[in-house]
Chain A
Amino acid sequence: MTNDTRSVISLRVNDATHRLCLDNRRTLLDALREDTGHTGPKKGCDHGQCGACTVLLDGRRVLSCLTLAVTAEGAEVTTVEGLAGDGELRPIQQAFVRLDGFQCGYCTSGQLCSAVGMLAEHAAGWPSAVTADLCPDGPAPALDAAEVRERMSGNLCRCGAYPSIVRAILEEAR
């Protein structure tokens, strides 16, 4: 195999650096799962349609199945494995467990990373399709259930845990 089809990159995942020689076609999702041992992010569709692969790239939520790994060099990747620091679950993880915000758990890592990214987007004043007041100088939209549902709609859950997920996210937002 020639160097045309592979690249050596440094990937920062959950505060650790991985030096990898990757097929240029390798997605960030596959690199995490197959090369750095992070199987928390899941492959639900490989087409950016389900959200199970959601991770944080420099704090922003991205679909890792639609991100080529070589483009993530230099960025800080956070997966579900990196959400809990020092073994202590984050409040939103605790809320998911306590309120039963999942059943099979396959979409959960995506839901959690997406929720963390979404809360940051909201805190930064980003509107959504259901935000009534889009005036840039207006107050930040209140994060009610309708806002959470709209902003989280890229993360499918076939078990139908949506009501508990929304409750857990609203608890975290408070």
Chain B
Amino acid sequence: MNAESSVPTAAGAVGVARPRVEGRAKVTGGARYSADEPVPGLAFGAVVVSTITRGRVLDIDVAAVQDMPGVLGVIDHRNAPRLNPEAGHFFGPDGGLRLLQDDVIPHAGRPIALVVGETPEQAYAAAQALPVVYDVRPHDTEFFFGHPAGRPASALFDGPVDVGDVDAELAASAVVVDERYGTPEEHCSAMEPHSATAWWEGERLQAVDSNQGPYQIAVTLATLFCLPPERVRIRVEHVGGGFGSKGMCGPQLILAVMAATRFGRPVRVTLTRDQVFLATAQRPATDQVIRIGADADGRLRAIDHVAAFELSPLAEYIEGCTELTKTLYAAPAIRTRLTAVPLDILPPYSMRAPGAAPGSFALESAMDELAERLEMDPLELRLRNEPVVGPVSGLPFSSRNLVACLRQGARRFGWADRDHRPRMRREGSLLVGTGLAATSFSTGAFPSTASITAEPDGTFTVVVAATDLGTGARTALTAIAADALEVGVEKIGLRISDSDLGPAWSAGGSRGTASWAWAITEAAAKMRGPERPATVTADTAHLLGELPSRERHAYSAVFAEVTVDPATSEVRVRRLLGLFAVGRVINPLMARSQVIGGMVGGLSMALHEEGVRDPVSGRHVNPDFAGYHIAAHADVPDIEAEFVPDHEPGLPMGVKGAGEIGNVGTAAAIANAVWHATGVRQRQLPIRLDRVLED
């Protein structure tokens, strides 16, 4: 297929609302997650994590637990296998992977030992009893914008830009908003704790692991343990959510491999919930300053967005907060700069809608403040600044349907009746307000391979190392393969979730479906060629380079209505509506679930989620679901989501990603609604009771 051509698809499976292919398995308990896999002769590993934030391990008294019932042994930095320091991931080498290599403690919650026992109870009892002596050193976990350790963030993406003359444009603006916004540490909090089971079959390492991409994880694991990649196989049938936290080679897998190697039998390592909080990636806190200047008629003259985020010296990472600012609105001058602040914390990593979720909270809050100062409808302000080409890149948009999202959403929400002044609506004792946000999330694809075999019975076996975290990938890829092969879905046998199936991108970056679909459609095109081979394989690596440079994004407009009780400061979201332009919708039932789920996550980010650290100990004080609240049933209204017609011309089937866009705009829409209800701006998330409290 040539880049930028649109794929002709017969009226087929794509676009049809279908329940998930694994639906029955999931409602009968038959779906197997990684800790559910029965493995004969299994031993259990319990992880011991550091209780101090920085320092050294002086002693781990293994003898004190060695004779406890069922204990097979303890692995720590004195007997663990040596790991390859070059192992890493997307951002380069990652010191977070180098567990049990020395006595250094770089952050609280760092795994420092694994106790292996015959049963989970025996392993955990010994892990709890294991005496550890520390040499405690001073730590720094206090994040703020002007931290002296701050340095320019890696420019692998979301690098600094400076177009036009920002200072002159700001000086010439009729109105300037200059405000600071913050978001706290947030945790992915997938319901399934990370679990891995590893064992050796002859020379081959086998593992069942909860992750977002078995192929990528297998490559990392092989590098880490200095094994040829073909000697590592990782499977992952069902995954209980990821949201970014399972994108990397997790501590559960590294430790399970160490233990399986040492004890010569299968070992399962499942993190406890507090360890999921402490030892698997979190979204870093951000501190952002935005200055927006506009003429009196609402036309933007300049946006200046500087953002800082925290990270660890162990690993590079980018929380690309300013990415949105470069493409969402037209302005003659745009300047962005990202600062990374190294602290003694767990290396942060992507959490759902990385960069965009905190970045859009700042940008879309600032736009709302601008509308307020201009005494203008926030909807109109956004419509008035719609760009023709990428404001920074100068590139054309592949397709841009933000205006359709805004207009249709406004109609459906009843936005036209809104009095834009704050604190004008009351129902009984409650203050009522509405707010909106416009957003985008970049779209694209990464290299993947797929193969298709025409079976003698007329069916097709479609093989791609995809994963289904609950995104509906199994169901969506089945439909895509059926249409690409011009057969019914019943003719498709899909195999995913196995690193042996060949190179493939992970479920992440809103690029899973697009990447895998591309490989499948390529293979299908070969299959339907004149030679009609029995088995075909396609690799999209070379095609990605042919894709012309464009601004490629999914878009959405989110509308929220909240009530605020002035007596208790309680904020309740009463209505939430999202309009989405996500390219062609493969399966409306699942796509709606995915974007609604994203909005639930955004609501949770707006009102509830905050990883709190004790500055004295440097530790998280709320690493469980009692202290770190994620939205529950009672927090969530009946959310509406609709899709506007959209098509991504550069990608097969016209798809864009839907994984992150749902999450992006919701926090700002809710914060803007809280302002509208109360007249008080919420520039720091979450919107806690004490931040809403009336004087």
Chain A positions within 8 Å of B, measured between CB atoms, are 1, 5, 23, 25-26, 30, 33-34, 37-47, 49-50, 52, 79-81, 83-84, 89, 93, 96-98, 100, 102-109, 112, 145, 148-150, 152-167
Contacts and interface: CB of A to CB of B under 8 A. Distances in A.
16 contacts: A30-B120, A33-B35, A40-B29, A44-B273, A45-B625, A80-B27, A80-B29, A81-B30, A93-B28, A103-B590, A104-B190, A105-B26, A106-B191, A107-B191, A159-B470, A163-B596
B11 interface: no
Contact of A156 (B125, B469, B593, B625): B625
Nearest to A167: B638
A105 B633 contact: no
B20 A50 contact: no
Contacts, number: 186
Contact of A81 (B22, B28, B272, B596): B28
A106 B33 contact: yes
B119 A23 contact: yes
Residue from A42, A81, A154 with most neighbouring chain B CB atoms (10 Å): A42
Given A46-B273, A153-B634, A160 B601 contact: yes
B190 A158 contact: yes
A153 B630 CA distance: 11
Interface in B371-423: none
B24 interface: yes
B121 A103 contact: no
B471 A37 contact: no
Given A100-B20, A103-B594, A158 B189 contact: yes
A23 B121 contact: yes
B240 interface: yes
A27 B57 CA distance: 33
Contacts of B32: 39
B193 interface: yes
Interface residues of B, number: 64
A161 B593 contact: yes
Contacts of B589: 100
Given A30-B120, A46-B272, A106 B632 contact: no
Contacts of B469: 103-104
A49 B192 contact: no
B20 A97 contact: yes
**Interchain residue pairs A-B with the least CB separation, the first 7:** A40-B29, A160-B600, A104-B470, A106-B240, A160-B597, A103-B470, A105-B26
Interface of B is mostly: loop
Nearest to B601: A160
Contact of B28 (A5, A47, A80, A106): A80
Interface string B73-108: 000000000000000000000000000000000000
Contacts of A157: 191, 633
A26 B121 CA distance: 7
A44 B636 contact: no
Contacts of B636: 149, 160, 162-163
Given A98-B19, A104-B190, A104-B470, 11 more contacts: A39-B36, A47-B626, A50-B273, A96-B23, A103-B597, A104-B239, A107-B240, A157-B633, A159-B593, A164-B596, A166-B633
A79 B270 CA distance: 22
Contact of A33 (B31, B36, B593, B639): B36
B593 A100 contact: yes
A55 B23 CA distance: 20
Q: Which of B27, B31, B192, B270 has the most CB of A within 10 A?
A: B27
Nearest to A1: B69
Interface in B600-631: 600-601, 624-626, 630-631
With a 10 A CB-CB cut-off, give which of A40, A52, A148 has the most chain B CB atoms: A40
B27 A150 contact: no
A47 B622 CA distance: 14
A150 B190 contact: no
B335 to A, nearest CB: 35
Contacts of B25: 105
